[in-house]
């Protein structure tokens, strides 16, 4: 626990920055003052820790990711510093302010799209908690992920101007700014020192770092997240300005600053745009320059660079760090190619996050050639040498070298660049890693099998259990003691209460309270009254065809038809809750949102239907909304087509909060079943190899329709239209064959999905005790999915680093 005189610190902060005294401090002012105090304490704590750590000369980890979805900071920091109760009491007694009101005020920095960015944020938390020193690097997007607003069910996007209310957790570090160079011409010259290479007439952009402290729970370490902001170097072209070209002088300014203006809003889909490439190079160049110069200043050599440095690239987005490091080593520190190459390939490791072809990055060669000419030359040389080595190995397959090439069809394959330039490649769940080895990375795996390994994703259970669900956390503290906060496997201690009716009743009561909290939120945002005794069946994640929100909607339609036909006699009331953002240009995804929204209105306007079911679409899915949703979940929908979801982490958050998963054999679901047992999971659907076989043989949707009267009626319902709106385009899509139809084969899993739901409802309504036991088993088995376990895996198996604690 951190100790300080918080009253004095807060009062000083209020007086210094806002000139207010404690009598007239408002919650927004207090939110800023308290947050500033905590930020300063964390900065000091980090400084102290890093100073001691530097003395050891041990290896350090740098984690590069284009997204960090950190969520709110104040509550997390107070919890981690173990001062939440103390501060709450102080605010009440001295200022008559409720700490919960301060939590509400803070903005959620939406610097990520979904799972990828949230994973990066969980890692910084878990690394700090376990006393691993780490720095994360990303971009300070002026606009994070858009705010979602449905207008008549159609998603529209509003800018997320999260920085306007003076977000207090970031501190500029002007002393560490640097220059990133684009464009220009490569100039080669033989001098007395040999060949020198420089860039003539580059466009120079200034990179300014902003630092955020990420605390760990009850530990010595504090992680650092460094976000780069782009600035025009000549804040103003005085020439243009004095010639009266005021507007042109301004616009060249904004061109530079466009680089960090906005986060690309696609999840699992690439854009291939020039601006996106610039963002990526901007991140890796500023980061690599900083890491190398810090190292050089400390050790006066780079010979030991890879002994002291691990650089991790999260997905291919920061792949250009590989040629950028080579450039710095060769052009600035005059290393030979061979020595520079050894340093880089002993430093960089890479995590793959998807096998979906539309998400695999391939940039047009000519964009890289013109915008990053020196980087382009280096990538060519990497490839030339790599292909030579593959041909020299002569593995008896002439086309192999072609398949492995970084260049093909005038594009640069970023995943291939990552594999060639890294010493380690990992997938994010067991099944995903096996698929990588068998399919898209097979050639690479055959050539260097030892490079490939798996580290299954995780979540920080302190945010997703202790902070999001204090009622459940308190119960656990009472039953098994608080050790599980640091040793998540201790959650298994809950299993001994599986037959304890008192504990089962307490769990049931806690779930009800959390359902009420979500129902109040829904009442406020959607003006819908929810039956809190109904099953809360939730699908919250990005809207994507492969995640199959549509399969869920098809079943809801089928239930509507049952109720209307009077065959719903035994049906237990069920509330379907969705939350999902779609990429702005993803028409099909927006159509699916509109379908769900329309179903919601249709059901709620009908007394007969709303007795049995309710459908809710919550706008603006974010970390803060997820923190309200997860504790209220009873059925967790994880229904992607097998083989398509790399891991999923939403599934883990629900499990940890006692939801039972209805899911396919995909991603981390496979390992959830292994942990909790198939009896405590509603498994359905094709396995990944069955999916592949079916697709190769030719998926014939009509055949499923003919064999399933239910599906037939669902299609008729879509064609007839709902509340006067036709959804024929969706039914056409579903009815298409393997050319042009539904690539995620909703029909193929429909019956199996339907039956799994029947089983779930039946247990819920006839044997609630058994349901609660299943729920308890899920909480008890969720310890494996803590990101504490995940980052330990990275540290032991990939980075080769050990925890460092301060001993006094």
Ligand X SMILES: *Cc1c(COP(=O)(O)O)cnc(C)c1O
Please state the separation of Cα 782 from the chain's center in Å: 19
Please select the residue that binds ligand X; options are 10, 70, 79, 114, rule is CB under 6 A. Answer: 114
Report strand pairing: 134-139 vs 452-454. Answer: unpaired
DSSP track, 363-432 = EEHHHHHHHSHHHHHHHHHHHHHHHHHHHHH--S-TTHHHHH-SEETTEEEHHHHHHHH-SEEEESSHHH
Q: In the stretch 118-157, what mask flags binding to ligand X with x, by CB under 6 A?
A: x---------------------------------------
Our answer to whether residue 140 is catalytic in this structure is no
Q: Any contact of residue 648 with ligand X (CB under 6 A)?
A: yes
> Min. distance of Cβ 675 from ligand X in angstroms?
17
Beta carbon nearer to ligand X, 650 or 793? 650
Q: Which residue has the tokens 């900083």?
A: 290
- Of 278, 547, 789, 792, the catalytic one is 547
Q: What's the token pair of residue 313?
A: 């690239």
Residue 470 burial by Cβ neighbours in a 10 Å radius (0-12, 13-18, 19+) = middle
- Of 542, 581, 757, 792, the catalytic one is 542
Residue 422 burial by Cβ neighbours in a 10 Å radius (0-12, 13-18, 19+) = buried
Q: Any contact of residue 541 with ligand X (CB under 6 A)?
A: yes
> Min. distance of Cβ 461 from ligand X in angstroms?
13
Stretch that binds ligand X, among 139-147, 164-172, 364-372, 620-628 (CB under 6 A): 620-628
Q: What's the token pair of residue 719?
A: 């064609």
Cα–Cα dist 87/75, whole Å: 11
Q: Identify which of 416, 243, 450, 432 has the alpha carbon closest to the alpha carbon of residue 354.
A: 432
Q: Any contact of residue 649 with ligand X (CB under 6 A)?
A: yes
Stretch that binds ligand X, among 112-120, 441-449, 514-522, 715-723 (CB under 6 A): 112-120
Q: What's the token pair of residue 382?
A: 């990497």
Q: Any contact of residue 623 with ligand X (CB under 6 A)?
A: yes
> Min. distance of Cβ 396 from ligand X in angstroms?
41
Q: In the stretch 344-373, what mask flags binding to ligand X with x, by CB under 6 A?
A: ------------------------------
Under DSSP, is residue 194 helix (H, G, I), strand (E, B) or coil?
A: strand
Cα–Cα dist 224/211, whole Å: 7
Residue 464: CB partners within 8 Å, gap ≥ 6? 627, 630, 652, 653, 656, 657
- Contact between residue 436 and residue 419 where contact means Cβ atoms under 8 Å apart: no
Beta carbon nearer to ligand X, 281 or 744? 744
> Min. distance of Cβ 147 from ligand X in angstroms?
13
- Contact between residue 654 and residue 661 where contact means Cβ atoms under 8 Å apart: yes
Q: Identify which of 134, 138, 136, 311 has the alpha carbon closest to the alpha carbon of residue 222.
A: 134
Stretch that binds ligand X, among 358-366, 621-629, 675-683, 704-712 (CB under 6 A): 621-629
- Of 362, 463, 541, 555, the catalytic one is 541
Stretch that binds ligand X, among 9-17, 181-189, 649-657, 698-706 (CB under 6 A): 649-657
- Contact between residue 209 and residue 179 where contact means Cβ atoms under 8 Å apart: no
The residue sitting closest to ligand X, measured at its beta carbon, is 650
Q: Any contact of residue 469 with ligand X (CB under 6 A)?
A: no
Q: For residue 568, how many C-alpha atoms fall within 13 Å in the half-sphere facing its CB? A: 21
- Of 456, 649, 661, 790, the catalytic one is 649
> What is the footprint of ligand X within residues 695-724 (CB under 6 A)?
none
Q: Identify which of 220, 225, 210 has the alpha carbon closest to the alpha carbon of residue 123.
A: 225
Stretch that binds ligand X, among 15-23, 110-118, 602-610, 691-699 (CB under 6 A): 110-118
Our answer to whether residue 498 is catalytic in this structure is no
> Min. distance of Cβ 496 from ligand X in angstroms?
30
> What is the footprint of ligand X within residues 652-681 (CB under 6 A)?
653
Beta carbon nearer to ligand X, 373 or 427? 427
Under DSSP, is residue 348 helix (H, G, I), strand (E, B) or coil?
A: strand
Our answer to whether residue 541 is catalytic in this structure is yes
Residue 632: CB partners within 8 Å, gap ≥ 6? 511, 514, 515, 517, 518, 536, 538
Residue 796: CB partners within 8 Å, gap ≥ 6? none
Q: Any contact of residue 650 with ligand X (CB under 6 A)?
A: yes
> Min. distance of Cβ 108 from ligand X in angstroms?
9
Our answer to whether residue 353 is catalytic in this structure is yes
Our answer to whether residue 442 is catalytic in this structure is no
Binding-residue total with ligand X (CB under 6 A): 13
Beta carbon nearer to ligand X, 49 or 464? 464
Q: Any contact of residue 467 with ligand X (CB under 6 A)?
A: no
Under DSSP, is residue 448 helix (H, G, I), strand (E, B) or coil?
A: coil
Q: Identify which of 317, 316, 417, 408 has the alpha carbon closest to the alpha carbon of residue 365.
A: 408
Q: Which residue has the tokens 């201690």?
A: 493
Please select the residue that binds ligand X; options are 115, 216, 427, 685, rule is CB under 6 A. Answer: 115
Under DSSP, is residue 38 helix (H, G, I), strand (E, B) or coil?
A: helix
Beta carbon nearer to ligand X, 104 or 303? 104
Our answer to whether residue 248 is catalytic in this structure is no
Q: Any contact of residue 622 with ligand X (CB under 6 A)?
A: yes
Beta carbon nearer to ligand X, 115 or 421? 115
- Of 75, 581, 653, 757, the catalytic one is 653
Residues that bind ligand X (CB under 6 A): 114-115, 118, 541-542, 621-623, 626, 648-650, 653
Positions marked catalytic: 353, 541-542, 547, 649, 653
């Amino acid at each position: 626990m951190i100790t300080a005189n918080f009253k004095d610190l807060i009062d000083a902060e209020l007086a210094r920055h806002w000139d207010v005294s404690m009598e007239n401090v408002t919650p927004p002012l207090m939110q800023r003052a308290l947050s500033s105090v905590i930020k300063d304490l964390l900065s000091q704590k980090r400084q102290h820790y890093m100073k001691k750590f530097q003395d050891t000369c041990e290896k350090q980890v740098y984690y590069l990711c284009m997204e960090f979805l950190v969520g709110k900071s104040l509550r997390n920091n107070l919890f981690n510093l173990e001062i939440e109760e103390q501060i709450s009491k102080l605010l009440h007694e001295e200022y008559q302010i409720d700490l919960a009101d301060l939590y509400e005020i803070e903005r959620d920095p939406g610097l990520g799209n979904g799972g990828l960015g949230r994973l990066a944020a969980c890692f910084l938390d878990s690394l700090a908690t376990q006393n691993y020193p780490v720095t994360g690097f990303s971009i300070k997007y002026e606009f994070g992920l858009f705010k979602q607003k449905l207008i008549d069910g159609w998603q529209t996007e509003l800018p997320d101007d999260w920085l306007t209310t003076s977000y207090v957790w970031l501190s500029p570090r002007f002393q560490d700014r640097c220059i990133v160079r684009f464009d220009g011409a490569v100039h080669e010259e033989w001098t007395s020192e040999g060949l020198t290479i420089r860039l003539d007439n580059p466009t120079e952009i200034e990179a300014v770092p902003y630092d955020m402290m990420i605390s760990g729970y009850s530990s010595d370490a504090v992680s650092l997240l460094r976000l780069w902001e782009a600035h025009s170097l000549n804040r103003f072209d005085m020439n243009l300005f004095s010639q009266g070209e005021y507007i042109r002088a301004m616009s060249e300014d904004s061109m530079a600053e466009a680089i960090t203006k906005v986060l690309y809003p696609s999840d699992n889909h690439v854009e291939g745009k020039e601006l996106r490439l610039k963002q990526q190079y901007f991140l890796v160049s500023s980061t690599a320059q900083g890491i190398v110069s810090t190292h050089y200043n400390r050790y006066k050599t780079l010979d030991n660079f890879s002994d002291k440095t691990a650089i991790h690239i999260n997905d291919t987005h920061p792949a250009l760090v590989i040629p950028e490091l080579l450039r710095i080593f060769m052009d600035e520190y005059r290393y030979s190619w061979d020595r520079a190459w050894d340093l880089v390939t002993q430093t960089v490791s890479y995590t793959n996050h998807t096998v979906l072809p539309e998400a695999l990055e391939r940039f047009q060669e000519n964009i890289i050639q013109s915008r990053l000419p020196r980087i382009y030359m280096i990538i060519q040389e990497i490839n030339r040498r790599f292909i030579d080595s593959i041909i020299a190995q002569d593995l008896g397959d002439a086309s192999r070298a072609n398949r492995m090439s970084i260049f093909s069809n005038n594009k640069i394959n970023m995943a291939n660049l990552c594999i060639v330039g890294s010493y380690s490649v990992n997938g994010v769940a067991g099944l995903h890693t096996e698929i990588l080895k068998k399919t898209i990375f097979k050639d690479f795996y055959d050539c260097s099998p030892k490079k490939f390994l798996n580290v299954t994703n995780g979540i920080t259970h302190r945010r997703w259990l202790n902070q999001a669900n204090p009622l459940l956390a308190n119960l656990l503290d009472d039953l098994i003691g608080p050790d599980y906060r640091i040793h998540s496997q201790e959650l298994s201690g809950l299993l001994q209460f599986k037959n304890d009716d008192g504990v089962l009743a307490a769990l049931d009561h806690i779930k009800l309270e959390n359902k009420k909290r979500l129902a109040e939120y829904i009442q406020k945002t959607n003006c819908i009254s929810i039956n809190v005794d109904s099953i809360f069946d939730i699908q919250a994640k990005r809207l994507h065809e492969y995640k199959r929100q549509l399969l869920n909607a098809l079943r809801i339609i089928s239930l509507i038809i049952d109720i209307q036909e009077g065959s719903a006699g035994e049906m237990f009331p069920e509330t379907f809750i969705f939350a999902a953002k779609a990429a702005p240009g993803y028409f099909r995804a927006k159509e699916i949102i509109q379908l769900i929204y329309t179903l919601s209105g249709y059901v709620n306007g009908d007394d007969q239907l709303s007795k049995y079911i309710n459908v809710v679409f919550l706008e603006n899915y974010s970390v803060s909304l997820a923190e309200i949703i997860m504790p209220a979940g009873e059925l967790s929908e994880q229904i992607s087509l097998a083989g398509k979801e790399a891991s999923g982490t939403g599934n883990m958050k629900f499990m940890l909060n006692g939801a039972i998963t209805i899911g396919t054999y995909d991603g981390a679901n496979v390992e959830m079943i292994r942990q909790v047992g198939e009896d405590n999971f509603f498994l359905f659907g094709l396995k990944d190899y069955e999916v592949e076989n079916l697709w190769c043989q030719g998926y014939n949707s009509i055949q499923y329709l003919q064999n399933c009267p239910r599906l037939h009626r669902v299609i008729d319902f879509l064609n007839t239209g709902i509340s006067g709106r036709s959804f024929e385009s969706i039914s056409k899509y579903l009815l298409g064959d393997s050319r042009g139809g539904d690539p995620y084969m909703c029909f193929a899993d429909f019956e199996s999905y339907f039956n799994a739901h029947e089983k779930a409802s039946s247990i819920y309504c006839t044997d609630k005790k058994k349901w609660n036991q299943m729920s308890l088993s899920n909480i008890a088995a969720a310890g494996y999915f803590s990101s504490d376990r995940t980052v330990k895996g990275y540290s032991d198996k990939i980075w080769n680093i050990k925890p460092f604690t301060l001993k006094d």
